[in-house]
Amino acid sequence: MATSSSLDAKIPQGPIETKWSKYKSSVPLVNPANKRNLEIIVVGTGLAGASAAATLAEMGYKVKAFCFQDSPRRAHSIAAQGGINAAKNYQNDGDSVYRLFYDTIKGGDYRAREGNVHRLAEVSGNIIDQCVAAGVPFAREYGGLLSNRSFGGTQVQRTFYAAGQTGQQLLLGAYSGLQRQVGMGTVQMYNRHEMLDVVNIDGKCRGIIARNLITGEIERHGGHAVLLCTGGYGNVFYLSTNAMGSNVTAAWKAHKRGAYFGNPCFTQIHPTCIPVSGEHQSKLTLMSESLRNDGRIWVPKAKNDTRPGNEIPEEERDYYLERRYPAFGNLVPRDIASRAAKERCDAGYGVGSSKLAVFLDFAAAVERYGRGEANKNNIANASKEDITTWGKAVVKEKYGNLFDMYKQITGEDPYEVPMRIYPAVHYTMGGLWVDYNLMTTVPGLYALGEANFSDHGANRLGASALMQGLADGYFVIPYTIGSYLAKEIGTGKIPTDHPEFVRVEKEVKDRIDTLMSIQGKTSPELFHRRLGKIMWDKCGMARNQQGLKEAIIEIRELRKEFWRDVKVMGGKDEFNPELDKAGRVADFIELGELMCIDALTREESCGGHFREEHQTEEGEALRDDENFMFVSAWEHKAQEEWELHKEELIYENIKIAQRSYK
Amino acid sequence: MHIKLKVWRQSNSNTKGDFENYSLDNVSPDMSFLEMFDVLNEQLIEEGKEPVAFDHDCREGICGMCSMYINGRPHGPLKGVTTCQLHMRSFSDGDTIVVEPWRAQAFPVIKDLVVDRDAFDRVISAGGFVSVNTGNAQDANSLPIPKVAADEAFAAAACIACGACVAACKNASAMLFVSAKISQLALLPQGQAERSIRAEKMVAQMDAEGFGNCTNTGACSAECPKEIGQENIARMNREYIGAKLSSTAV
């Protein structure tokens, strides 16, 4: 592994408060007549992709958008539950752009870039305005104004929400804007299409190769810029809260064509998910972090206590988050809550049949809300039953859909017994390295939303993913892309009969032919499961040198076995989900190797990256700012060979401190 | 559990399909219905047979991708859930389960249980939006919206466009889907400017796609996994008639 340092993130000069506004007023513009001749390819139609495609088309560019689902509205942003942050300070509780900026940097354990995060905080308010204008039905108070709630890692209420379906409502808002442009003919929509490679000509990204998933046809698409809005890679762990189709293929192909991969080992393990129930499990379901506003997390004080949660008396319960982190209690950030749950379960205090679960209990909230209702209605001597009934009604209004989901999956009623939860892979902070313009190391190739690495450092705060996806798509890329495209107005239409298109298309076809021809004994699904197990055991919530070294060897073996023994049924010229899956798993295997290498190289603990060798006496993450205050940007050289480039992180506005929520 | 399956198999939209019988042992009651299909597909691959194609993605009931017609009902026997949220504990040991794709002229079969629902996207493109370009918005709290209206709009906006309403309807009508979007935007102040033209254009597109008419049977709401109510159809009719009385645009 070679290393070289210094990557230029192209952060504008000047004080942090004015970087973005100065940039906006000085960035080159493209006049309307020229915009009509510039084509932009947007891959992925989640919050980042849909908002970018719609906005760029409104501005006058010619846009082609791609998604592998049957409709752009199904991208996995749709499943985000809890909310979206914005520094509106509507609650008059001391919020500000600076505070959101500060909380995000601190929450990211001082591994995010100041310039990007401040910009994110600056545009956060505009996002809410835009969404409301587009008809997003956010939760409201009786006075008709927008409602807010708290999320982890903050002490203000800045999270806007729509029941437990915020991602759905925001995505449908962006999707409606996208469909409006599709109807006007300014966006050409390609659904059930998967991007299988990018095409670079003379050092610039000039298009993609995509497969029509219905017919199997391989297509060439040219563009003056390509935007990858393809989400995260949590499915490398097999079991995660991601959708079944979520994959790394687009980002990985870009990586192999020259885009550096930033901080691949930074993964977020979400503390509140429904525990695994058996071998058949295909995915995990999140229970929104918003539940930690009202739910209290605990385990029994005695080991191996098998009583149902509601039969364990108060004095025999250990509310371990409230005990360890009195200032933030149940609202500590996700990485901390996850590790604390793991610590209790590893120590033998876990609950449920697998012993890999902790309780999330709403009994106290039910009683508190019930009494509140009694007070509101001037009922002095309400019975305990009445209070419980009223309290449950309030809880139902706040979290009803989540409680229903829990009941459907587990068969248990969370209004009666405490929920059982356990951490699960949820989000990946790492992603393609991008500069301030959101451009990767390949000119003309951009990465937005979860697909890039930029804003969340080593740990993302709750309700910040939706904020970043929409910030990138609605408010950042429409400006920053001008600085590149202004120089492209003389380029003319990109010819897709260029030898590079021919060459890359042939490579894509050859790979498909290879996958189809192996005809081994093992399905792509089984390879995926095996990869997931290696990753979860050795590159999951806690990592150590020995485990990571073993994992790298095992993954390399798995890759060789895959290309020897994979069995893909069906044909290549038809609708074939097995073939789609095989290609994705092959890419996940390569990514897994890089994640382990990155985790092994980063000899410190920070945020979601916890190296067992580096912890404080209390078991908290121990950063090494002297040696690791940089972004790891990996350049792909050859099979099993990468070069590490470092982007040094400079904190001019925030004082680096040990991250404490005690 | 032991489960017998009769599954619709069809190579593509140009060929005729038929039912195939399968038998599965060791089905766990905790499995979701789609995980049971994963097991079936692994079994088929092992036998050297082509697995069953079916649409699915989020597997938590929100993306709207899964679409199985189970024992004569879209998304199976439970109320208010999608196929992916259905678990095998809702069936009994030894049951025979019949699984078909959505059946509607406007949703042609792509393969096996996978259908083409592009018609829904085209209906939204016809008018299911507020025409506001990025960057034009005023402060979000400058226009208070009564909580009741916001909640009602949200209830309509919860539609996941899975198409169960169309599959459930004997006329393959899409009125519930279309009315949910028309209702959401008609209930909010942001939707007022385009209220009439929206109703006209979306209904015209719905008709052009070949969806049937509504005869007020109510199967759509009964089978809707998000329990979108019939009042939305009433509201759509009101919006549409009002628009038609005052305009000749479409």
pLDDT single digits (tens) A103-133: 999 999 999 999 999 999 999 999 999 999 9
C-beta atoms of B85 and A172 within 8 A: no
Q: Supply the pLDDT for residue A4.
A: 56
Residues 6 or more apart in contact with residue B78 via CB below 8 angstroms: A408, B85, B86, B90
Name the one residue in this structure whose structure tokens are 């139609």. Answer: A45
Q: What is the pLDDT of residues A411-454, one digit of tens each?
A: 899 999 999 999 999 999 999 999 999 999 999 999 999 999 99
For residue A368, count CB atoms less than 10 angstroms from its CB and return exposed for 0-12, middle for 13-18, buried for 19 or more: middle
Q: Among residues 494-513 of chain A, which lie with CB inside 8 Å of chain B?
A: none
Q: Does B63 contact A at CB distance below 8 Å?
A: yes
Lookup: tokens for B223: 């089978």
Locate the chain B residue with the closest alpha carbon to A74: B63
Q: What residue ranges in A130-244 does DSSP mark as E strands?
A: 159-160, 187-190, 193-201, 204-212, 218-222, 225-228
For chain A positions 514-573, those within 8 Å of chain B (CB to CB) are 523, 525-526, 567, 569-570
A338 reaches B (C-beta below 8 A): no
Q: What average pLDDT does this structure show over A566-587?
A: 97
Name, in order, each residue with C-beta under 8 angstroms of B205's C-beta and a sequence gap of 6 or more.
Answer: B122, B123, B125, B126, B127
Q: Which CATH number fits domain B3-110: 3.30.450.40, 3.10.20.30, 3.40.980.10, 1.20.120.1200?
A: 3.10.20.30
Q: What is the mean pLDDT of chain A?
A: 96
Question: What is the C-alpha to C-alpha distance for residues A259 and A384, in angstroms, rounded to an integer?
Answer: 62
Query: Any chain B CB within 8 A of the CB of A55?
Result: yes
Which residues between 145 and 164 in chain A have a beta carbon less than 8 angstroms from any beta carbon of chain B? 145-146, 162-163
Reported as a single tens digit per residue, the pLDDT across A175-191 is: 999 999 999 999 999 99
* Whole-complex ipTM: 0.98
pLDDT in tens, A54-82: 999 999 999 999 999 999 999 999 999 98
CB–CB of A69 and B111 under 8 A? no
What pLDDT digit, counting tens, does each position of A448-475 carry?
Answer: 999 999 999 999 999 999 999 999 999 9
Q: What is the pLDDT of residue A397?
A: 84
Considering only A57-61, A230-234, A326-330, which range has the smallest mean pLDDT? Answer: A326-330
pLDDT at A415: 95
Per-residue pLDDT tens over the stretch A495-524: 999 999 999 999 999 999 999 999 999 999
* Burial of A188 per CB tally in 10 Å (0-12, 13-18, 19+): middle
- Maximum Cα–Cα distance for chain B, whole Å? 64
Take residue A84 and report the two structure tokens written for it.
């979206």
Q: Is A158 a catalytic residue?
A: no
Question: Each residue of A494-525: b (16+ CB within 10 Å) or e?
Answer: bebebeebeebbeebeeebeebbebeeebbbb
Do A72 and A183 touch, CB atoms closer than 8 A? no
d(CA A5, CA A395): 52
| Domain at B117-246, CATH class | mainly alpha
For an interface test with B, the pick among A408, A410, A474, A574 (most B C-beta atoms closer than 10 Å) comes out as: A408
- Phi first, then psi, for residue A81 (nearest 5°) are -105, -60
3-state helix, strand, coil in chain A (%, to 5): 40, 15, 40
Question: What percent of chain A has pLDDT above 70?
Answer: 99
Tokens matching residue A531? 């990869």
**Contact state of B129 with A135 under an 8 Å Cβ cutoff:** yes
By the 8 A CB rule, do B144 and B131 touch?
A: no
Give me the pLDDT at residue B246, please.
86
Put simply, whether the predicted model's pTM sits higher than 0.95 gets the answer yes
Which two tokens mark B102?
């959505």
For A175, residues 6+ apart whose C-beta sits below 8 A from its C-beta are: A45, A50, A72, A73, B124
Report which secondary-structure segment, H or E, holds A359. Answer: strand A358-361
Q: What is the pLDDT of residue A277?
A: 87
Query: Tens digits of per-residue pLDDT, A538-576?
Result: 999 999 999 999 999 999 999 999 999 999 999 999 999
DSSP calls for B127-177: H-S----TT----TTSS---HHHHHHHHHHHT-----HHHHH-TT-B-HHH
Alpha carbons A343 and A567: distance in angstroms, whole number: 40
Please give, rounded to a whole number of angstroms, the shortest distance from the CA of B172 to a CA of chain A.
20
Instruction: Residue A10: name the closest of A430, A468, A441 by CA.
Output: A441
Asked if B102 contacts B115 with a C-beta cutoff of 8 angstroms, the reply is: yes
Closest Cβ–Cβ partner in B35, B80, B129 for A177? B129
* pLDDT at site A2: 54
Question: In chain A, what are the domains?
Answer: 271-425 (3.90.700.10), 498-626 (1.20.58.100)
Asked whether the beta carbons of residue A183 and residue B137 sit closer than 8 angstroms, the reply is no
Q: Which of residues 188-217 of A touch B (CB under 8 A)?
A: 189, 191, 214
Q: Which of residues 364-403 of A touch B (CB under 8 A)?
A: none
Residue A329 and residue A321 in contact, taking contact as beta carbons nearer than 8 Å: yes
Give yes or no for residue A339 having a pLDDT over 90.
yes
End-to-end CA distance of chain B: 56
Of A88, A140, A569, the CB nearest to B50: A569
- Is B134 near chain A, with CB under 8 Å? yes
| B148 interfaces chain A, CB cutoff of 8 Å | no
CA distance A77 to chain B (A): 9
**pLDDT average, residue stretch A650-662:** 90
What is the reported pLDDT for A151?
86
Q: Which of A55, A134, A243 lies closest to B57 in CB terms?
A: A243
- The answer to whether residue A135 neighbours chain B at the CB level (below 8 Å) is yes
The one-character DSSP state at B192 is: S
Torsion angle, CA of A507/A513/A516/A521, rounded to 10 degrees?
Answer: -70
Task: Look at A141 and B147 and tell me if their CB atoms are within 8 Å.
Answer: yes
User: Of B113, B129, B152, B226, which to mutate for an interface test with A (greatest number of A Cβ within 10 Å)?
Assistant: B129
All CATH 1.10.1060.10 domain ranges in chain B, comma separated: 117-246
Residue B206 contacts by C-beta under 8 Å, 6 or more apart in sequence? Answer: B123, B174, B175, B178
The verdict on a CB contact (< 8 Å) between A578 and B45 is: yes
Which of the residue ranges A90-94, A204-208, A275-279, A416-420 would you say has the lowest mean pLDDT?
A275-279
Q: Which of A104, A97, A103, A153 is CA-nearest to residue A127? A: A97
Asked if A77 is an interface residue toward chain B (Cβ–Cβ < 8 A), one would say no
A528 Cβ neighbours under 8 A, 6+ residues apart: A238, A581, A585, A588
Question: 3-state DSSP call for residue B15?
Answer: coil
How far apart, in whole angstroms, are the C-alpha atoms of residue A44 and residue A53? 10
Flag whether pLDDT at B148 surpasses 80. yes
**Burial class of residue A22 (count of CB atoms within 10 Å of its CB; 0-12, 13-18, 19+):** middle
Phi, psi of A205 (to 5 degrees): -75, 125
Residue A580 corresponds to which tokens in the numbers above?
Answer: 């789609």
Contact A134 B161 (CB under 8 A): no
Q: CA of A141 to nearest chain B CA: how many angstroms apart?
A: 6
CB contact under 8 A, B125 and A180: yes
Compute CA A259 distance to the chain's CA centroid, rounded to the nearest angstrom. Answer: 19
Query: Parallel, antiparallel, or unpaired: how do β-strands A358-361 and A419-428 relate?
Result: antiparallel
Give the pLDDT of residue A111.
97
What residue has token string 């908002």? A51
Q: What is the location of CATH 3.10.20.30 in chain B? A: 3-110
| Alpha-carbon gap, residue B193 to B132, rounded angstroms | 11
Chain A residue numbers touching B161 (CB-CB < 8 A): 71, 73
Residue A39, SS3? Answer: strand
Query: Which residues 6+ apart lie within 8 Å of A523 measured at CB?
Result: A566, A567, A578, B42, B45
**pLDDT at residue number B35:** 97
CB-CB neighbors (< 8 A) of A163 in chain B: 154
- Report the pLDDT value the prediction gives residue B155, as an integer from 0 to 100: 97
Instruction: Give Cα B200 to chain centroid, integer Å.
Output: 22
Q: Which of A119, A334, A344, A543 is catalytic?
A: A334
Q: How far is A479 from chain B (nearest CA, A)?
A: 12
Q: How confident is the model at residue A658 (pLDDT cuts 50, 70, 90)?
A: confident
Report the half-sphere exposure of A432 (CA within 13 A, side-chain side): 33
Q: Which residue of B has its CA nearest to A580?
A: B53
